[in-house]
Amino acid sequence: MVHPCNCSLLRLLAVICIVLDGIGKRTVALSNSCEVTRSTKQVVDDCPDSEEKWKERAATKNCTAFASQCAEPVRLVYHCVINPYVNQTLEVCAYAQNIISGHCTSYSLSGNLILKNLRTNCSAFKEKPCPKFYRSDKAYNYPMCYELTKKSTTVAIVSTSSNKPETTAVLTTISYNRSSNTNADMSGKEEMIALTTITFVTVGTLLLVIFLIYLWRKRWKIICNKHCRKGSGESNDTKAEKMNLNEQS
């Protein structure tokens, strides 16, 4: 016969295993990156601006060759995006993400993540503006994001108002596309904060489970001790009754 305390302990262990399994699955589900992504990053001169060109470049990049090194191989797909500082275009194999709030798609090397670039506001584009929600592997639909990385140029203007031509350097910029510098590099920091939060939540949950195990063990130890003392008392009473019967006979 199994001791009741042992049965309770087994049930407790089963609950703990279920909780830990859930935590593990939740942690994996919250993972939005694959370590191999870092090694696939490559600076390129431009990015494809149509689905056909995107597929051609994707075939050349061949992200499936790296997919086996990821926890979720099917999620590793080709991307061509801008960097956090909006001065380069990058090709990279990464997990696709949902891009929200009308920002361009970016890749953060520090966070190893595809994310929205808070320095940009592509919903303000006159041509092909970004919607409030789109998938990062569809970034080719918003090619003006890539144009933001182009260096400013100067042009010469000849004035005819005087005898001598006057050359004036005019700096051309795209002013509507970037937000304030106070948002600099916030995309990478935002994701790092999210990952840190996930880590703390996971560790905190594990500590809570350990504490609950301690309380349960302490409680059942007290119950088991009472049970053992009660059983021992009944045994002595039974022996005393037997001794009395023997003496009377």
Angle (CA) 183-185-190 rounded to 5° is: 90
Mean pLDDT, range 97-101, rounded to an integer: 96
Predicted TM-score (pTM) of this structure: 0.56
Higher pLDDT, 217 or 79: 79
Using the predicted structure, report yes or no on whether residue 68 has a pLDDT greater than 90: yes
CB neighbour list of residue 3: distance below 8 Å, 6 or more residues apart: 224
Position 209 scores a pLDDT of: 82
CB 101 within 8 A of CB 116: yes
pLDDT at 32: 85
Q: Which of 218, 154, 200, 167 is nearest to 27 (CA)?
A: 200
Which of these, 199, 216, 47, lies nearest to 138 by C-alpha position? 47
CA dist., res. 153 & res. 149, Å (int): 12
